[in-house]
Structure 1
């Protein structure tokens, strides 16, 4: 404590190297650099703007200097200021520095002995305080050896981007704005403005890119419920480039085909006809070709339920930043509830539209429902059945390959290769 003095001094006192200060037990010699804590009288220092019993810590910068450089201010209101003459809030940290990378606050818990570094900062309600063990908490590291921040937050509205560089990110919670945005309902977005085809998200292993998400301008992806929706590059028309295989558990390749207005329900593995308009029919006399409905597709093409056909789904609302907090929460809750109802209505309309289409297998393996006896190696063809339906119904029958004629071959939808676990014959779909 040889460089620190605590006490009440005259407002205009100057301290020089070698001066002595009165203490309870003897005196102390003043050194060239002295830190002092003073209780400033109401009249304050000469030319000073601090009044009313403020306690300030000063630092002198050399021999004989008056200690008037404030490093810590404690106001009568209970506010603390570091590097500032007044703090309008409980704590203000301020320092003018020409470097855009100057840190204002350093929080560090280096740990003790064999214990690893622990929590440097915890912000919580007192009732939620938790004692964590070693290695707990969030660790923000710099990128050695250049010392650049690995994670930076900016106030995007103010445009305060000094020191912003490659690898940094703007973040915001208010709507779908910023490079990385979070909504109150849990959604997140990564926004790119680098140009179509340029990477906006890159997942690395070391220096090797493993997964890259690129900016695209094309649209047209189906709007039905799904796990991932991917649009396309407006120039190449591509959505995904894969270095390896794309694996799926399905057994066939299928396409959506629209059903005729009077076509009934077509079950999986059931044979249907194709009429002169290219629509599915369950009437034998209207069909010029025959197909089988997919049971387990690995790929489905011809998804016509896009925004061009259905119109865009209702947009999720975002909070309005200039509203008072209480009003913003209430109004956003009302808007979000209305959006949930509108989205449910839109999805119901989309599913109703979906019933007009069926997935038809064009290649691969499909279990089918066959009327009558069958054996592995037989062909499965369509046959007219009289059941009172105008135009006749369509049934699937098996025909041995040695008795199959040309007309039967044209009606065949595939050849039986094996028996499915449920006992049905599995055919390999025959192309036209």
Structure 2
């Protein structure tokens, strides 16, 4: 019996029972003399079957289960016409057919170590032929896996070595219902059928990339990496970046984070966080792409707060930016700033039709800030060489009806009502006294252009706010802890270990004190800004009372009743003051014509004369 079993065997029956427990088929009949019921073709047993300390070796793949086989290894040594090994077969696709096969291994191009690519390939049949692959190196082309679909609908899986090249392959098969072959048949001619998968054709079937068609099917015509959940980089102890899948079924207008770039943070200085992109659909009750939004926000992990929209891009073409600094070094958060160029006359901005000459051009001015007087909507600088601020090829349209100029009032001149006749003194000052006037005019009512607007220069520029933004309320930074194994414990035990300490009581008190001081300083600065602005406005009003706008040309209503179109408005003495009277053309004297301030062109609804200003 020692010939059939291992040395030292004492109990044959007990050993046979052990063999049966290991899966061996034990015959119910006694073996011939010198032979074993478990022996191979020569009738003798292989010691490795009985002794687990001896490794099992075989020239063919080891089979575990029906379709799973381990240990394939092949060389492709410059085959003249190519070489194919059929390693598996799938039945034709059908509603009652579900099969899959996983191939794990290494493909090699040219035998060099750096030409080896570990790979995992999953193939399946039900509801269509399906594949998914991962290559952790270059895409091999000398050794490759190919799948052909035959005319009868079945699929055959081959290992292929390309003609005239050298390659190697080692792999294992793990399958369900598919047919695999321990001794694959080989052929030197391309198999029959249609090639439906080729691991070496990276242009059509890139590794780890699943083609997604517009219908959502895996067609391979539009290649895109598909990650079902999300990709995260970092552990959030100091920051993290991620790509997330937008959830299906989000309410219209809801905002969902999809891409985030982490900010690592610096202990004691600033906290970890991220700047990320969010998406939103259904905005404005629009069901299609016009209602999409792409939104940029900032996130502070320490306070778990997210900023308002920094930027927003709509599917309808609308773009929102919270604050724009284009080509500018301006650090103020109070204004947009678009800059370019270094010298006066440099082109800053073009606005107009695409491909055509621009409709609007902005050039760099002398850079002097001379808009410190009364508030306006638009300020335009000037060129110091030409003195020009604006030039237009077309007309400049305004809603006002006359051209006026600021003229200083003489001492003692009272308030002048719009449309009143006034006199001009020999010192070019406005007067409401007949005796002081050398010529006459009308106070402007609704000017379209106003000249002489330099009367406020004596009080200087309008003060700029100094307070700045309101200080941000500090947040107490909490400890960041991670679980770590307690040394020397078996089984292992874990405890929370602080990896990033938070604010101590002293540090938190310092933060609160610093904030209180900053807030007090900010409130004081706000008060000082308000006081300086009020003082400037008061001084501005004092200077404004010293001037008035006088109509030099154009059309203006005049405070004269009883006139008719065509009449001339002639100034006359009214006690110590000045008033106007209408005179018909036929009754007008030469002296009165010379003194007239305008000619009536219509009558206002309130009965006043509406005149064309007469040029002196």
TM over 0.5: yes
Distance 1:281 1:234, change over 3 A: same
Alignment match, 2:574: 385
CA contact (8 A) 1:380 1:399 kept: yes
Of 306, 311, 315 in structure 1, the residue corresponding to residue 460 of structure 2 is 311
1:202 aligns with 2:392: no
The structure 1 residue matched to 2:294, chosen from 117, 122, 138, is 138
Task: Kindly report which structure 2 residues correspond to 1:269-280, keeping only aligned pairs within 5 A, or say none.
Answer: 269-280=419-430
Q: SS at 2:359's partner residue?
A: strand
- Distance in 2 between residues matched to 1:88 and 1:172, nearest whole Å: 30
What corresponds to 2:105 in structure 1?
30
Indicate whether 1:300 and 2:459 are aligned: no
Note if 1:256 corresponds to 2:430.
no
Q: Deviations over 1:366-410 (max 9, x none)?
A: 111126x43222211111122xxxxx1111111222222233223
Structure 2 residue matching 1:407: 3-state secondary structure: helix
**Counterpart-to-counterpart distance in 2, 1:270 and 1:296:** 13
Cα displacement (A) at 1:334: 4.9
Task: State the match for 2:596 in structure 1.
Answer: 412
TM-score normalised by structure 1 residue count: 0.60
Provide Cα deviations, 1:144-193, integer angstroms capped at 9, x if missing partner.
xxxxxxxxx9xxxxxxxxxxxxxxxxx9979x8952757444x2122333
SS in 1 for 2:592: helix
1:200-252, Cα deviation, whole Å (9 max, x unpaired): 22224323322222211154446211111111111111111222211111111
Secondary structure of the 1:398 match is strand
Which SS does the other structure have where 1:415 is aligned? strand
* Aligned residue runs from structure 1 range 352-363, under 5 A: 352-363=542-553
Contact 1:119–1:137 (CA<8 Å) still a contact in 2? no
Alpha carbons 2:256, 2:280 under 8 Å: kept = no
Task: Indicate how the Cα distance of structure 1 residues 214 and 29 shifts in structure 2: closer, same or farther if over 3 A, else same.
Answer: same
Q: Which runs of 5+ in 2 are unaligned?
A: 1-60, 71-102, 107-115, 121-134, 141-167, 169-231, 249-254, 261-272, 283-287, 297-309, 311-320, 475-514
Residue-by-residue CA offset, 1:305-342 (whole Å, 9 max, x unaligned): 45x4221111233759xx99854973556534532442
1:382 touches 1:412 (CA, 8 Å); kept in 2?
Answer: yes
SS at match of 1:248: coil
In 1: Cα distance, 2:343 partner to 2:604 partner: 50
SS in 2 for 1:213: strand
Calculate the aligned-residue CA RMSD, in Å: 4.5
Post-superposition offset of 1:353: 1.3
Secondary structure of 1:362's aligned partner:
strand
| Residue pair 2:104, 2:119 contacting (<8 A) in 1 also | no
SS of 2:601's partner is strand
Distance 2:524 2:258 in 1: 36
The number of equivalent residue pairs is 313
1:91 maps to 240
Q: Which moved more, 1:358-367 or 1:130-139?
A: 130-139
Residue 360 of structure 1, CA deviation: 0.4
Shift of 1:296: 1.2
**CA separation in 1, counterparts of 2:364 and 2:518?**
33
More strand by share: 2
Equivalent in the alignment of 1:156: none
Structure with higher Rg: it is 2
Asked if the contact 1:366–1:429 (Cα under 8 Å) also holds between the matched residues in 2, the reply is yes
Listed as ranges, the matches of 1:12-161 within 5 Å are 29-31=104-106, 32-34=116-118, 61=137, 81=233, 89-91=238-240, 121=258, 132-133=281-282, 135=289, 136-138=292-294
Q: Residues of 2 paired with 1:401 and 1:229: CA distance?
A: 45
Name the TM-score, length of structure 2 as normaliser.
0.44
* Corresponding residue for residue 555 of structure 2: 365
Distance 2:345 2:610 in 1: 43
1:179 matched to 2:263? The reply is no
Query: Could you say what secondary structure the match of 2:565 adopts?
Result: coil
Distance 1:396 1:172, change over 3 A: closer
The DSSP-based 3-state class of the residue aligned with 1:410 is: helix
Q: Name the CA distance, whole Å, in 1 between partners of 2:329 and 2:463.
A: 22
Spell out the pairing of 1:204-219 with structure 2 (5 A cutoff).
204-208=352-356, 209-217=358-366, 219=368
